[in-house]
Amino acid sequence: MGNNTAANVLSTIGTVLWCIQLSPQIYFLWKRKDATGFPPIFMFLWVLSGIPFGIYFITSDSYIPYQLQPQMFSILCGIAWLQSMYYPPYNTPLKRVLLYGFCYLSTSLAMQLGFGIPLKRLYKEGITWPTTVFGIIAAVFLALGLLPPYYELLKRNGRVVGINFIFLMMDSAGAIFSMAGTLVGELDVLGMIQFAVVLALEVGLYLSQAIWYIRFRVLRKEEKEEPEGASKEQAQV
């Protein structure tokens, strides 16, 4: 009983964080009116992951917070995805952006209802492999979604541009709490893998930005200060 309570508390915290984690990014894009460094394919792959993600947690009778998590996650990802298409440098026409959003919502609803109801019955009967397949697909999309930002890093010598770090920290914290909830409660190996993959790739973004800062800010500042110090010593001589 105690483990179930702790698992629900931890997973609820993770869900709350994942329900609002993209809010800073959405505000960041709206404020800048520029999506440079935030490629639409990033959020598109995360939006796609929300469909199998939702099917997996609904059919596997996971904790209620886990079942709500993919829905809220998809909504925020969808908003950020539409923003990234609409703002420069991509400048997709608004009508097309809204059409893409409508097509996604229709497809997501149809697939989650179409697969969720029958797979839930099969899962209760002990046939779990179809649910596992959807969980694997979700994990793959989540991982692939974080690869385009790495391509952006390569173009900018490792500097993170266009991605809000408050969003990243909240997303990482949500993954950590969700993993903790899974460890304390009934172990969900596939869910653990999904959260761990996201966390590992986001840690890579933090490290890349830290390395860029040291290389191009700290070291360059030291290089500029050295000639000044040398010239002062020469003057004294």
The pLDDT tens digits for 41-55 are 999 999 999 999 889
Give me the pLDDT at residue 226, please.
62
d(CA 173, CA 177): 6
pLDDT reading at 137 higher than 70: yes
- Summarised one tens digit per residue, pLDDT across range 202-211 is 999 999 999 9
- pLDDT, one tens digit per residue, over 49-93 is 999 988 988 888 766 766 777 888 899 999 999 999 999 999 999
How sure is the predictor about 194, in pLDDT bands with cuts at 50, 70 and 90?
confident
Q: How many CA atoms are closer than 13 Å to the CA of 59, on its beta-carbon side? A: 30
**Is residue 117 predicted with pLDDT exceeding 90?**
no
**pLDDT score of 123:** 87
Q: How far apart are CA 100 and CA 77, in angstroms?
A: 13
Looking at residue 231, its pLDDT comes to 47
Over range 181-207, report the average pLDDT.
82
Task: Give the up-direction half-sphere exposure of residue 187: CA atoms within 13 A in the CB hemisphere.
Answer: 3
* Residue-level pLDDT at 141: 93
User: What whole-number distance in Å separates Cα of residue 1 and Cα of residue 13?
Assistant: 19
Residue 147 has pLDDT above 90, yes or no: yes
Higher pLDDT, 149 or 1: 149
pLDDT band per the 50, 70, 90 thresholds, residue 1 = very low
Average pLDDT, the chain: 86
Task: Report the distance separating Cα 83 and Cα 39, nearest Å.
Answer: 10
Mean pLDDT of 199-220: 87
User: Is pLDDT at 152 greater than 90 in this prediction?
Assistant: yes
Q: Of the spans 134-143, 192-201, 216-225, which averages the highest pLDDT?
A: 134-143
Element (H, E) at 91: none
Contact (CB, 8 A) for 195 and 53: no
Q: What is the DSSP letter of 162?
A: S
Cα angle value 114/115/117 (rounded, 5°)? 85
As for how many domains the chain has, the answer is 1
Look up the domain containing 162 and give its range.
Answer: 2-236
Q: What is the pLDDT of residue 62?
A: 67
